[in-house]
Amino acid sequence: MCKKPNILLIYTGGTIGMIKDSETGTLHNFNFDELLEYIPELNLLDCNISTQSFAKPIDSSNMNPSNWVEIASIIEEAYDNYDGFVILHGSDTMSYTASALSFMLENLSKPVIFTGSQLPIGDLRTDAKENLITSIQIASLCNEGRPVIREVGLYFEYKLYRANRSTKINAEHFEAFDSLNYPPLIVSGVNLSVNYQALLPSNSGKKLKVHKKLGSNILLVKMFPGIDEVTINHLFAYPEIKGLVLETYGSGNLTNEKWFVKAIKKLIDKEIPIVNVTQCSGGSVDMNIYKTNIKYRKMGIISGKDITTESALAKLLFLLGQNISANSFKTIYETSLRGEMK
C-alpha cells in the first residue's frame, strides 16, 4: 500500500504560471501560493501538494546553467521530505533544462517531472490544467510502495517522455514536444498507460548525488551548404572554447574540404572535445558508413549516436564540469549515462 505522497511544485517561470490582466490584457505571473484558487481540481488528487517558486520567475529564453543549479539545489534540499517533484518551466528551453537535470541528479530514485503549457493558466482554452494535473498524478504514481517513475521526465499533451530524449517540435500546437528516437514512458488516456520496458532501472539503493559544477564556453555549429573557411576559422579561434557540438548532415556527415579537416584537427590537438550530432529530427549518427566520416572518427570526434542536440549540449557541459581526462572523455561521452542514447 502506497502512502499519500508529498509532491513539491517548483515554479521557475513560463506561460503556465501566467494569467491575463482583465483590464490591460497583459500577462503576469500569479502567486503560486494561491494555486488552488485557479485549479480547484487539484483538491481531488490523492496527494499533498506544496509549492515553491523562484524568487524572480524568469522567461525560459533567459534560462541558463546557473538556473539549472538553482533547480537542482531546491530538489537536493527537499529530497528527503517529498516523494516527487514537478517543475513548471517555459516550453522554449524546457528540453535543455530537463536534459541537464537528468545528468546533474545522479542516482535519482524519485520522479522529477517537467511540464509547461502553450497557453496561460487563466486562458479559457488553456492546456496548462491538464498538463499540470497529470504531471502531479504521474509524480504520485507508485507500485509496491515505490515510485513508478525514477528519472527526469517531460510531460506535455498526454505523453511523458524521458527528458533527455525530448525536443520541442512546434511553437503553436498543443503537441509541442516529441521524442523521435525513444518511446513515451507514459501515455495518458482514460488511464495512465505505463511503458514499464522503457523506464530506467532503479537506483534506489544508492544515495542521490547532485552535481552542481558545470562547464562553460562551448559552441554549437550547424553545418550548411555554403559554410566557409573564414567563418569556421573565426568560430574555432575562440580562445576560451572548451567544447564543440557539430550538427551534421544525415548520419553524421561532414565536408571533407581540406580547410575544414585542418580546422577540426587543430581543435582536437588542443584536446577540445567535439561531438557529432545529426541535424535530422530523428535517426542516429553512424561514423562508420562513409569514408570521410571514418577519417573524422579516427581523429577523435565523438559520436553523439541518437542523442538530441539539447541533451548533447547538456551532457557536454555536465562532463566538462567533472574534470575528466582527455583520454577518457570520448569513451565516457559515448556511454549512455541516463538513457540519453542507445
The residues that are catalytic are 15
Cβ neighbours around 122 below 10 Å, total? 15
Pairwise CA distance, residues 326 & 30, whole Å = 47
SS in 3 state form for the chain?
A: CCCCCEEEEEECCCHHHEEECCCCCCEEECCHHHHHHHCHHHHHCCCEEEEEECCCCCCHHHCCHHHHHHHHHHHHHHHHHCCEEEEECCCCCHHHHHHHHHHHEECCCCCEEEECCCCCCCCCCCCHHHHHHHHHHHHHCEECCEECCCCEEEEECCEEEEHHHCEECCCCCCCCEECCCCCCCEEECCCEEECHHHCCCCCCCCCCEECCCCCCCEEEEECCCCCCHHHHHHHHCCCCCCEEEEEEECCCECCCCHHHHHHHHHHHHCCCCEEEEECCCCCCCCCCCCHHHHHHHHHCCEECCCCCHHHHHHHHHHHHCCCCCHHHHHHHHCCCCCCCCC
* The pairing of beta strand 27-29 with beta strand 84-88: unpaired
The single residue listed with the C-alpha cell 573524422 is 296
CA–CA dist 312, 333 (Å, integer): 9
CB of 189 within 8 A of CB of 159?
A: no
Q: How many residues does the chain have?
A: 342
- Give the span between the Cα atoms of 212 and 217, in whole angstroms: 16
